[in-house]
Amino acid sequence: MAVKVDYLAQDSDALLVAVNNQRSAMDARGFSDEVYTGFIDAKENLRVKEIAQQTAVKTAQDKTALQDFYIGEITRTIKVIRNAVRSAYEDDAQKISLFRVNDPIPKAVKGLRPMCEYLVGVASVNSAVLLKNGLGATDISDLGTFLTNLIAADASQENYKKQQVAATKVRDNAAEVLKKLTFKIRNFAAACFSKNPEILVEFNPITRGRGGKGKGGDETPPPPDTPTPPPAQ
């Protein structure tokens, strides 16, 4: 869970306890069921949206790992083909150049795709010679298969990266709704219990860093007598 979201979730849990403890007195001052249920719903909505966002992050990471796997297999297979070319055409500079043996192997899909497509074609034409110089029977076809799988993995990864961005926006929107409600409730408490500081302290924001998240020591001050709205983001 993101640090800010984690703090907000913990802080709203503590605030709900305070509200439940003082509900009768708050109701007597006009605290509505609408605000109360809205607060609970907002807490649950943030929890659900946070899970969805984390799932999207994990899926995107898995897709990236799969993409990296195929990039690794392609790189390995290109090197196998190049070694076979060097063995078969050791003194043939034209053949060495034809197979682009000395070209750097791209690390990104954009560069790997044309190189693989070209190399599969050239290697297929010269397969009889290469198979007598260390090339495996399936190395050429494997290169084509790895490329196909890489293209699919890359497309899937790009899609899930977009889903991750969307899930993060939805999660952040849910966090903003909950943040506004915690602010509203603390304003209400500041008015309701202005003559009861021993009660009002229950509504103070929790200490940041609580529960081992982040660094401790930066305690959040209690709400002022006349709270001011949070800065626009």
pLDDT per residue as tens digits for the range 28-60: 999 999 999 999 999 999 999 999 999 999 999
Q: Where are the beta strands (DSSP E) in the chain?
A: none
Instruction: Compute the distance between CA of residue 22 and CA of residue 189 in angstroms, rounded to an integer.
Output: 9
pLDDT tens sequence across 119-155: 999 999 999 999 999 999 999 999 999 999 999 999 9
Q: Tokens for 58?
A: 């994990």
- Spans of all domains in the chain: 3-212
Report the mean per-residue pLDDT for the chain.
89
Task: Say what the pTM is.
Answer: 0.74
φ, ψ of residue 121 to 5 degrees: the values are -65, -45
Report the percentage of the chain scoring pLDDT > 70. 88
In this predicted structure, the answer to whether residue 214 has a pLDDT above a threshold of 60 is no
pLDDT tens sequence across 78-127: 999 999 999 999 889 999 999 999 999 999 999 999 999 999 999 999 99
CA end-to-end span of the chain:
20
Tell me how crowded residue 19 is: count the other CB atoms within 10 A of its CB. Answer: 20
In this predicted structure, the answer to whether residue 180 has a pLDDT above a threshold of 50 is yes
Q: Which residues fall within 8 angstroms of residue 231, CB to CB, at 6 or more apart? A: none
In this predicted structure, the answer to whether residue 209 has a pLDDT above a threshold of 50 is yes
What pLDDT does residue 211 have?
46
Crossing angle between the packed helical segments 3-21 and 33-88, to the nearest 10 degrees: 160
What pLDDT does residue 227 have?
42
Instruction: Compute the distance between CA of residue 127 and CA of residue 142 in angstroms, rounded to an integer.
Output: 13
3-state DSSP percent of the chain in helix, strand and coil, to 5:
75, 0, 25
Tell me how crowded residue 18 is: count the other CB atoms within 10 A of its CB. Answer: 19
What pLDDT does residue 208 have?
81
